Amino acid sequence: MEQNLWEALKEVLDPEYPVSVVDLGLIRGVEFAQGKAKVRLTFTSLGCPCTEIIREDIRRRLLQVEGVKEVEIEEVFDPWTAENISPKGRLILLELGVT
């Protein structure tokens, strides 16, 4: 089930760039128990202007996964650096001229 959740999260894109929250390195853990999906989420910065949009997009997408009745998102504020972006994410950003 956790694998399904990860796959679903790969379809949740950053509100500005077409990179998923997984490839951006924002997801710090996924758990599933008794219909409840739990996501540990960090942001690229404390002042990220898109926190609510990202949370909403994650919630909406995970509720579409079969078996998920409830979504709990925990904001963990683990430090994030550009190192956390996956090679795939980096490639997409590079093509858009973002370094």
Partner 1 sequence: MEEVKKMPLTEEALLERIRSGKLIEGPEYATERYLEGLKRTLIVSADTELISAPAYFRAAQDAPNINAYISATGIIQDELGHAHIAYRLLRDLGVDTDVLVFERDPKEFKHPYAFDVPLENWTELVVANAFYDRAGFVLLGDVYRHTSYAPWKRALVKVDREENFHLRHGERWMEILAQDPDKKKELQRAVDWMFVLTLEWFGLPDNLKRHTDQIAYGLKGLTNDQLRQEWMKTAVPLCERLGLRVPAHYEPDLGQYVIDVPFPAEFDAERKVWLFEKGPITWDQVLARWKARGPANEELVRSIQRGYEQIRKSLKA
Residues near partner 1, by CB under 8 A: 15-17, 47-53, 56, 96-98
Nearest residue (CB) to partner 1, 50 versus 73: 50
Contact 71, 62 (CB under 8 A): yes
**Would you say how long the chain is, in residues?**
99
Cβ 64 to partner 1 shortest distance, Å: 19
Cα-based distances in Å from 60 to 19, 53, 64, 77, 86? 17, 10, 7, 21, 24
Cβ 60 to partner 1 shortest distance, Å: 12
Nearest residue (CB) to partner 1, 17 versus 78: 17
Which amino acid is located at 15 in the chain? P
Cβ 26 to partner 1 shortest distance, Å: 16
